């Protein structure tokens, strides 16, 4: 891989590998709610200790990324907040938008004294779909400001944030997109994932059990982390030989090969006496 993506554009990494296990389990289970006992058991199957699994669930609840509903002695959880938004983006099968001639933009200035707010703004904006065009300028294809503004902590009094629009010809817009979302480096990352998945497709899938669940997570989590913050850009703005469609095809093959034994284990756990 020839280039490294900046920390801000590693937005999916705001969800650590342990946190990313939770939407992975919801997706595999194909359920909108998971019982707390079963969720803890499955997180343990994925390598966490029981106390760490309970800690993961607690952190997600405190951050507003899991919502619980008590039923008898058990609590049933559903995804919420940024975790739910990321899950929805990954499962959105709609076509990429057309280039309308302008980006939505967010112009901001945050003094160094309020660096934590600035860092939170950047991370949250990337998770919402913005790219970083330059210092103080974020761009996106859709108006994410209403969603972003609801996720931010209170704005410092001397910080400024201005939603705006940026009109550009297609050629300039393509260069802006390449900068804002670091598309050359991102293409290298996606190609790397493709090579790893193609290698795995030469192996046999494990039998149902915790090992099958862990193997599927090992294969899916890294590319999904990158796809989560890879924008769905109009074809006019993409570089030649953009690898994302081919990567999705590889992921479909991985799910077809490795998904059934992992899902069988999840279903057995969810349907057991938990």
Q: Please answer whether residues 268 and 207 qualify as being in contact, where contact means their C-beta atoms are separated by less than 8 angstroms.
A: no
**Helix (H) and strand (E) counts for the chain?**
10, 7
In contact, 53 and 78? CB cutoff 8 Å: no
Length of the chain counted residue by residue:
274
Dist. CA 100–CA 105, nearest whole Å: 14
Indicate if the alpha-carbon torsion angle 147, 153, 155, 159 is positive or negative.
negative
**Of 84-93, 115-124, 183-192, 211-220, the least confident:** 84-93
Q: What is the mean pLDDT of the chain?
A: 90
pLDDT band at 217 (very low <50, low <70, confident <90, very high): very high
The class of domain 1-94+187-274 in CATH terms is: mainly alpha
Q: Report domain extents, the chain.
A: 1-94+187-274, 102-167
Give the closest residue to 124 by CA, choosing from 112, 97, 106.
106
- Please provide residue 107's backbone torsions phi and psi, each rounded to the nearest 5 degrees: -100, 125
Is residue 3's pLDDT more than 60? no
- Strands of the sheet containing 102-109, edge to edge, are 131-134, 137-140, 102-109, 160-167
Q: State the CATH architecture for 102-167.
A: 2-Layer Sandwich (3.30)
Enter the pTM of the model.
Answer: 0.83
102-167 matches 1-94+187-274 in CATH topology: no
């Amino acid at each position: 891989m020839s280039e490294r993506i900046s920390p801000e554009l590693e937005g999916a990494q705001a969800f650590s590998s342990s946190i990313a296990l939770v939407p992975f389990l919801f997706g595999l289970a194909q359920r909108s709610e998971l019982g707390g006992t079963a969720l803890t058991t499955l997180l343990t199957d994925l390598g966490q200790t029981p106390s760490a699994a309970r800690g993961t669930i607690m952190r997600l609840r405190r951050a507003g990324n899991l919502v619980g509903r008590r039923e008898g002695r058990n609590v049933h959880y559903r995804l919420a907040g940024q975790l739910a938004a990321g899950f929805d983006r990954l499962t959105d099968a709609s076509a990429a938008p057309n280039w309308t001639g302008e980006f939505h933009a967010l112009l901001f200035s945050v003094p160094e004294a309020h660096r934590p707010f600035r860092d939170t703004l950047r991370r949250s904006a990337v998770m919402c779909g913005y790219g970083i065009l330059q210092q103080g300028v974020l761009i996106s294809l859709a108006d994410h400001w209403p969603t972003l503004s609801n996720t931010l902590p209170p704005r410092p009094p001397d910080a400024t944030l201005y939603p705006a629009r940026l009109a550009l010809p297609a050629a300039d817009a393509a260069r802006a997109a390449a900068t804002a979302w670091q598309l050359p480096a991102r293409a290298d990352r996606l190609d790397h994932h493709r090579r790893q998945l193609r290698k795995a497709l030469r192996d046999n899938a494990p039998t149902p059990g915790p090992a099958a669940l862990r193997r599927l997570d090992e294969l899916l989590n890294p590319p999904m982390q990158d796809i989560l913050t890879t924008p769905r850009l109009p074809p006019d703005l993409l570089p030649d030989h953009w690898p994302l469609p081919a990567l999705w095809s590889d992921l479909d093959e991985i799910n077809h090969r490795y998904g059934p034994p992992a899902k069988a284990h999840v279903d057995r756990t969810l349907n057991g006496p938990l």
